[in-house]
A and B are shown apart, each in its own frame.
Chain A
Amino acid sequence: MRVLRQRDWSKPVKPVAREVRSALPGDDRYPPLLFVGRPAEFFAEHWLDRCAERGWSAYTVTPRAGRLVGVREHCHDVVQVAASLPRQAVLVGHGPGARWAAAALTRYPARAAVLIDPPARLPDEDVVGPAQVLLVGAAGRALTKAGEHYKVTPTLLSDPRRLTDPSWLYPLEGLLDWLEQTIKPR
């Protein structure tokens, strides 16, 4: 919890244009999902479409890239998009996207969060708000540390590298199942 944010007050992050893609179901009984990462990573169209098929609005954001860009800018981009969604969002990130989503959790009170293959280095600030966190990944030190950081038991995934194969929907079904158990529909 950081109350005094002198740097954010006196040198706010410069705005940039961001591309947000989405797939929306007919009715939204659930909070929107915000997938954080590069589009190529794993949120190809059929991930989004599959979410919509199961009744979840899904959005993606790719934070800015560049030489002088740090986690502060990534965090800013994710939080800006999350706050622009109609309802309190669920953040989903994979790999670098998991690092950006984890940073955003210290600034935005997400409804829940899913971090796939979380990085070894996690933010040193607490999560704000009510978010329950689901950790998914290959067994290893990074996942164990993330489990201790968020005080949850991680879910092991046998071969997370296959996430880059967009046609493989198995982990997506799993995380949607978890969200449906965790979040009461409206």
Chain B
Amino acid sequence: MANAPRRWHSVPVDDRGNAVCVIGAGSSGLAAVKNLLEHGFAVDCYDRETGIGGAWNIRHDRSPVYSSTHLISSKPMTQFPDFPLPDHWPDYPHHSQLLAYFERYADHFGLREHIWFGTEVVSADPIENDRWRVRVRPSHGGGAERELSYAAVVVANGHNSHPRTPALPGIEDFRGKVIHSSSYKDAAVLRGKKVLVIGGGNTGCDIAVEAAQQAAGCWHSTRRGYWYAPKYVFGRPADQVNDATQWLPLRLRQWAFHRVLRLTVGDLTRFGLRKPDHKVYETHPIVNSQLVYYVGHGAITPVTDVKRFNARTVEFEDGTEAEPDLVVLATGYAPRFEFLDPGILGANPPRLWLHMFAPRHPTLAVAGLVQPDSGQFPLVHWQTQAIARWLTLRTTNPERAAQIWAGAADRAEWRWTKAKVSATERHWFEVSHVTYLKAVESLLKELTA
């Protein structure tokens, strides 16, 4: 019998009553735990790692950060609204400071005693009365699986842990080394190599800059032209200057920002970069003061999309060729929810009301599945406040809760951007922080009215 497959009903179910299960103890999970506790819920949080911080902990095997990662949004736009980053830290803190900040947040609000470390959630399934059956097991090595039932589940597993790799023709014949940026930790791997960086996002630009400083040569392949916002304009963090103009109409702000970039960064086509095929605010912003500078030094050669790989060379769409020893795929990440049945969140990426609520499951919420044009954590703080208030209202005033829920399914297709953002998978959950926070604020007011 020892080797017989165990069926779930042979496992004793541990009924956790009104407690809420939070999946993940990174930035979103910690905010969820803190705000649920603040609203009087019992909380069990599970994290597969042995420490907090999720993506921000460089020692975690799924962490996307590298040794030189700094914030690209400045402090006031990045910190939790009720737990400020210290005054004596710089405008754009280093990832190790962010981890220290989350450690302090966890200690300050006494969150650790509610977190089960080294425990991963195998599955979360809806059962009767809108409750959830959650199966957990030790994430490192053997150990028995446990099964518990919860009143609600908050999914906070992050969306930057599963590398997305595009189809690259001929890559299997290529003799050089190919890595995804998720396994890029330190510039040492670039030294003396001829490097091709594929991908124009913030990580791709950071690695291209490090290659310009450390490698023997660097090609940077992007699909399109981008706007490169500097970290500082007029001597102030660029996002703070930008937020001072939020009251202006979008088109005027786009025009003004284009002018500012023209006067500070310059005409990108002079540097051999392509002209952007979109206006600013229409894709996730690239914040990098150094990329254009190193293109100007000739240390980065901008190239177009890859056409095909050969044994030693790479051909690009514009007819040029490169001979890299090392290829870094900075091609981003895809959201993954292995512990949920695919039908629960709907399509991929999930179509959720306010990027939080699954229309058919009122006791399931996702925290942190947004890509704002600002720091992430203020949005997640208000998301988890809304989730806590929503779960509270369901028990204190079920009728009112049902009224609010009535239109959720139709609103799952809504977007929360001002500019028209491309609807690719990567851009699906991009939000404009002002538009999105206004929507969350009105929901919060509805929930407490």
Q: A residues near B, CB below 8 A?
A: 1, 3-6, 8-12, 15-16, 76, 79-80, 83-88, 107-109, 128-130
25 contacting pairs across A/B (C-beta < 8 A): A1-B441, A3-B438, A3-B441, A3-B444, A4-B434, A4-B438, A8-B76, A10-B246, A12-B75, A12-B240, A15-B87, A16-B87, A76-B84, A80-B84, A83-B108, A85-B108, A87-B107, A87-B108, A87-B110, A88-B110, A107-B81, A108-B82, A128-B82, A129-B82, A130-B38
Check: B19 CB closer than 8 A to any chain A CB: no
Other than the known A3-B441, A83-B108, A85-B108, what 19 A-B pairs have Cβ atoms closer than 8 Å? Answer: A3-B440, A6-B246, A6-B247, A6-B434, A9-B76, A9-B374, A10-B244, A10-B246, A11-B244, A15-B87, A80-B84, A80-B87, A83-B84, A83-B86, A84-B86, A87-B110, A107-B81, A107-B82, A108-B83
How many residues does chain B have at the interface if contact means C-beta atoms less than 8 Å apart? 32
Q: Kindly identify which residue among A4, A10, A15, A85 contacts B441, using a CB–CB cutoff of 8 Å.
A: A4
Nearest CB on A from B121, distance (A): 28
Asked whether B268 is an interface residue with its Cβ less than 8 Å from the other chain, the reply is: no
Give CA–CA (A4, B110) in the complex, Å. Answer: 27
Contacts A12-B75, A12-B76, A129-B38; A83 near B83 (Cβ below 8 A): yes
B residues apposed to A, CB below 8 Å: 38, 75-77, 81-84, 86-88, 107-110, 239-244, 246-247, 374, 382, 434, 437-438, 440-441, 444-445
Among the interface residues A10, A79, A129, which one has the most CB atoms of the partner chain B within 10 A? A10
Q: Which residue of B lies closest to A77 (CB)?
A: B87
A-B pairs, top 9 by smallest CB distance, nearest first, are: A15-B87, A10-B244, A3-B441, A10-B243, A12-B76, A9-B243, A10-B240, A9-B76, A3-B437
* Binding site secondary structure of chain B: helix
In chain B, what residue has the closest Cβ to A85? Answer: B108
Q: Which residues does chain A contribute within 8 Å of B88, judged by CB atoms?
A: 15
Complex Cα distance A79/B77, Å? 17
Shortest CB–CB separation between residue B436 and chain A, in angstroms? 10
Q: A80 contacts B86, CB within 8 Å?
A: yes
Contacts of B109 in A (CB 8 A): 88
In the bound complex, residues from chain B placing their C-beta under 8 Å from that of A79 are 84
- Residues of B close to A3: CB separation below 8 A: 81, 382, 437-438, 440-441, 444
Q: How far is the CB of A110 from chain B (nearest CB, A)?
A: 10
B246 contacts which chain A residues (CB < 8 A)? Answer: 6, 10
A88 to B374, CA, bound (A): 27
Q: Is the CB–CB distance between B77 and A9 below 8 Å?
A: yes
Q: Is the CB of A6 within 8 A of B243?
A: yes
Nearest-CB residue, chain B, relative to A106: B82
User: How far is it, in angstroms, between the C-alpha of A1 and the C-alpha of B445 when the chains are bound?
Assistant: 9
A contact residues around B243 at 8 Å (CB): 6, 9-10
Within the complex, what minimum Cβ distance (angstroms) separates A177 from chain B?
A: 24
Whole-angstrom CA separation of A84 from B242 in the bound complex: 29
| List of B residues within 8 angstroms of A12 by Cβ | 75-76, 240
A83 CB to closest chain B CB (Å) equals 5
**Most central of B108, B382, B440 by chain A CB within 10 Å:** B108
Q: Which residues of B contact A15 (CB under 8 A)?
A: 87-88
Q: How far is the CA of A6 from the CA of B77 in the complex (A)?
A: 10
Chain B residue, CB-CB nearest to A80: B87
Chain B residue at smallest Cβ distance from A110: B82
Distance in angstroms between the alpha carbons of A40 and B402 in the assembled complex: 55
Query: Whose C-beta in chain A lies nearest to the C-beta of B240?
Result: A10
CA gap between A12 and B75 in the complex, in Å: 9
Q: Could you say which residues of chain A place their CB within 8 Å of the CB of B84? A: 76, 79-80, 83
The docked-state distance in angstroms from the alpha carbon of A71 to that of B82 is 17
B108 adjacent to A5 (CB under 8 Å)? no
